[in-house]
Amino acid sequence: MNVKPMSVWAYIVGFVLLTSCNSVTPPAPYGVLPSESQIEWQKMEFYMFVHFGPNTFTDVEWGNGKEDPKVFNPTDLDCRQWAATAKAAGMTAIIITAKHHDGFCLWPSAYSTHTVRESSWKGGRGDVLRELSEACKEYGLKFGVYLSPWDQNHPDYGTPAYNQLFANTLTEVLTNYGEVFEQWFDGANGEGPNGKKQLYDWNLFHRTVYTHQPNAVIFSDVGPGCRWIGNEDGYAGETNWSRLDTIGFQPGKSPTLDTLSMGNRYGGAWIPGEADTSIRPGWFYSPSTNDKVKSVAELMNTYYASVGRNANFLLNVPADRRGRIHPNDSIRLMEFRAAKEKTFETNLAKGKMTATSVRGNSKRYAAENILDGQYDTYWATNDGETTGSIELDLGTPQTFNRLLLQEYIPLGQRIAAFNVEYWDNETGTWNLLAEATTIGYKRILCLPTVTTGKIRINITQSLASPIVNTLELYHAPEILLSENGGSIIGGQTGEVVLKPITEPTVIDLGENVQLKGFYYIPERVVAAANISRYNFYVSMDIKNWTPLKSNALFNNIRNNPIRQDVLFDKETNARYIKLEAVEVADGSDTYHIVELGIIK
């Protein structure tokens, strides 16, 4: 074939272009990295804690090890009911308190005389770990165990023999019940029966776990697998690094609570946060808390403050004296699941995604990868480019108030600051919607509701070239039903809703309702921007408003920002309610609102 010199050049140029495109090197990992197990663990997001033991029957949060094991006597234990509930709630696992500080073992341990074997339950032949691990398998849930090394019952506690004994106890639990995804170590270290504290041999305990369950993620105040988030209310820091400095620390002797909630930007180990809290005021069941189960709004808040801030959410749902999850808790879990599904039903992030810069101009790292629903494809910039913007052109304008972002953590956590802007067609300008710091595995921002055709994320600070694999947009409903039949607003937004003082809060109750009054839940922070003086109106048609309270005061809300119940002089019928802020406790021109609801 007679090839002209020009075409040969065209071939060569084409070949070079093609190969250079394919040969763009992937971004190098940055800093300390998660293990395979930690990546899988992080994807589990939301799972159940079950506190169960003698305390369930004795109305205490901490037993003292002297309780008669016979008090443990569930009348109708059904671990399949726990598993079915967890599964239906959208959870991925159950972690059980196999042994709490009282030393009572929920399995017939050969190393203790304070166990289910000594209890009245099933004539001493029961094994809660057996029943639960099998139920988890049946329902496709992972199984995890909490064990407290602090043991107020065992005679060896506080003597050198105890560490090996505890390791033997661990071995029983980790070898007899199948795979354990998480080993939860409580760092509490009180006195035992001989009045002495134990010097724990954490190296031995960790070695024992990894020998029998090499893929288990070990929880404690400071990991090594995942860390306590620094509070028992289930919220992570708004800034939350998955890295932590652990030198000089150990379980029970941790860095400051702030550090636990935020991690360390340059921390020496990958130890992501796990946010734990109970659905009731206490960790163990008590009949006195049957009417104190957290509201959907509170659970939603906690979800945004945990999963929405780069932490896993471990929600305790204590089994009751029958050995079942109480209906008040399970109903609330189903309501929470429904609210979560409604919020995240329709991802509105569709359209054309572009970026200010793409690694090697390669399609492999293009911004559109962010929208493809695949975890392992992502947008990346060139090495050394630590700022940049991604822009989503939605085509037709969409209304949304939630933004979900994910960094590709197998290559490290990088992004340290970003902001979000939306395009205002009328003024032809980009306007700021939110500013935030870290993203990590997942970040969900609760935004003011906006209708726009274009949104832009500007990464303003990153420790290495940013790598983003997911962006989703949602429109969370304004109204949810609250437990006392009222409607709530804002409560489902996690990060307390903040509004300009000029913008009243209006709720459509959906139908005409006979009202006795309303309630307002402020942010529980002293001297926060909570409403201190207000006007309140009702309406049947959203046009004509009847004032029911004018220039009224929420007393002492500055120093004690608790729920405010306001009763009207007489009952009134309304379809819409409106709360208008006249004055804000800290004098600012924005106000905070966690919940606004009605009293029927």
Q: Please give the Cα distance from 444 to 438 (Å, whole number).
A: 11
Q: Under rule CB under 6 A, which residues in 61-80 are in contact with ligand FUL?
A: 61-62
Decide whether 234 or 597 has the Cβ nearer to ligand FUL.
Answer: 234
Residue 327 CB, shortest distance to ligand FUL, in Å, is: 23
Decide whether 250 or 590 has the Cβ nearer to ligand FUL.
Answer: 250
Q: Which of 389, 388, 353 lies closest to 372 in space, CA to CA?
A: 353
Residue 467 CB, shortest distance to ligand FUL, in Å, is: 34
The 3-class secondary structure across 110-164, one letter per residue, is CCCCCEHHHCCHHHHCCCHHHHHHHHHHHCCCEEEEEECCCCCCCCCCCCCHHHH
Cα atoms in the 13 Å half-sphere on the side-chain side of 323: 21
Residue 530 CB, shortest distance to ligand FUL, in Å, is: 30
Q: Under rule CB under 6 A, which residues in 262-281 are in contact with ligand FUL?
A: 276
Q: Please give the Cα distance from 389 to 95 (Å, whole number).
A: 41
Decide whether 219 or 554 has the Cβ nearer to ligand FUL.
Answer: 219
Q: Please give the Cα distance from 317 to 478 (Å, whole number).
A: 27
Decide whether 305 or 574 has the Cβ nearer to ligand FUL.
Answer: 305
Bridge partners of 143, per DSSP, are: 94
CB atoms under 10 Å from CB of 334, counted, come to 15
Q: Please give the Cα distance from 557 to 528 (Å, whole number).
A: 9
Residue 150 CB, shortest distance to ligand FUL, in Å, is: 8
Decide whether 186 or 329 has the Cβ nearer to ligand FUL.
Answer: 186
Q: Under rule CB under 6 A, which residues in 296-325 are in contact with ligand FUL?
A: none
Residue 236 CB, shortest distance to ligand FUL, in Å, is: 16
Residue 404: enclosing H or E segment and its boundaries? strand 388-407
Decide whether 233 or 478 has the Cβ nearer to ligand FUL.
Answer: 233
CB atoms under 10 Å from CB of 21, counted, come to 13
By beta carbon distance, the residue nearest ligand FUL is 283
Decide whether 188 or 540 has the Cβ nearer to ligand FUL.
Answer: 188
Cβ contacts of 162 within 8 Å, gap of 6 or more: 151, 154, 156, 192, 198
DSSP state of 278: E
Count of residues that interact with ligand FUL, criterion CB under 6 A: 6
Q: Please give the Cα distance from 331 to 87 (Å, whole number).
A: 13
283 touches ligand FUL (CB under 6 A): yes
As given in the structure block, the two tokens for residue 297 are 């709004």
Select from 45, 67, 131, 186 the one that contacts ligand FUL (CB under 6 A). Answer: 186
Decide whether 61 or 586 has the Cβ nearer to ligand FUL.
Answer: 61
x/- binding map, residues 190-229, to ligand FUL, per CB under 6 A? ----------------------------------------
188 touches ligand FUL (CB under 6 A): yes
As given in the structure block, the two tokens for residue 35 are 């293990």
Residue 533 CB, shortest distance to ligand FUL, in Å, is: 40
Residue 579: enclosing H or E segment and its boundaries? strand 564-584
233 touches ligand FUL (CB under 6 A): no
Residue 586 CB, shortest distance to ligand FUL, in Å, is: 34
Q: Which of 44, 42, 37, 63 lies closest to 52 in space, CA to CA?
A: 63
Residue 152 CB, shortest distance to ligand FUL, in Å, is: 12
Q: Under rule CB under 6 A, which residues in 502-561 are in contact with ligand FUL?
A: none
Decide whether 274 or 391 has the Cβ nearer to ligand FUL.
Answer: 274
DSSP state of 293: P
| Sign of the Cα pseudo-torsion (36, 39, 44, 47, in order) | positive
Residue 62 CB, shortest distance to ligand FUL, in Å, is: 6
Decide whether 131 or 276 has the Cβ nearer to ligand FUL.
Answer: 276
Residue 74 CB, shortest distance to ligand FUL, in Å, is: 19
Q: Under rule CB under 6 A, which residues in 3-62 are in contact with ligand FUL?
A: 61-62
What's the distance, Cα to Cα, between the start and end of the chain in Å? 90
Residue 51 CB, shortest distance to ligand FUL, in Å, is: 6
Q: Which of 577, 467, 581, 479 lies closest to 522 in space, CA to CA?
A: 581
x/- binding map, residues 140-179, to ligand FUL, per CB under 6 A? ----------------------------------------
Cβ contacts of 463 within 8 Å, gap of 6 or more: 30, 31, 265, 386, 413, 414, 415, 416
Burial of residue 165, with CB atoms counted within 10 A of its CB: 0-12 exposed, 13-18 middle, 19 or more buried = middle
**Secondary structure (3-state) at 559:** coil
Residue 456 CB, shortest distance to ligand FUL, in Å, is: 41
Bridge partners of 228, per DSSP, are: 274
Q: Under rule CB under 6 A, which residues in 419-438 are in contact with ligand FUL?
A: none
Residue 383 CB, shortest distance to ligand FUL, in Å, is: 43
Q: Do the strands 505-521 and 480-481 form a parallel or antiparallel pair, or are they unpaired?
A: unpaired
Decide whether 62 or 249 has the Cβ nearer to ligand FUL.
Answer: 62
What is the torsion angle, in degrees rounded to the nearest 10, for the CA atoms of residue 397, residue 403, residue 404 and residue 405?
90
82 touches ligand FUL (CB under 6 A): no
Decide whether 52 or 177 has the Cβ nearer to ligand FUL.
Answer: 52
Decide whether 180 or 574 has the Cβ nearer to ligand FUL.
Answer: 180
Decide whether 229 or 584 has the Cβ nearer to ligand FUL.
Answer: 229
Output phi, psi for 139, to 5 deg. Answer: -95, 10
Residue 195 CB, shortest distance to ligand FUL, in Å, is: 20
- The residues of the shown chain that bind ligand FUL, judged by CB under 6 A, are 61-62, 186, 188, 276, 283
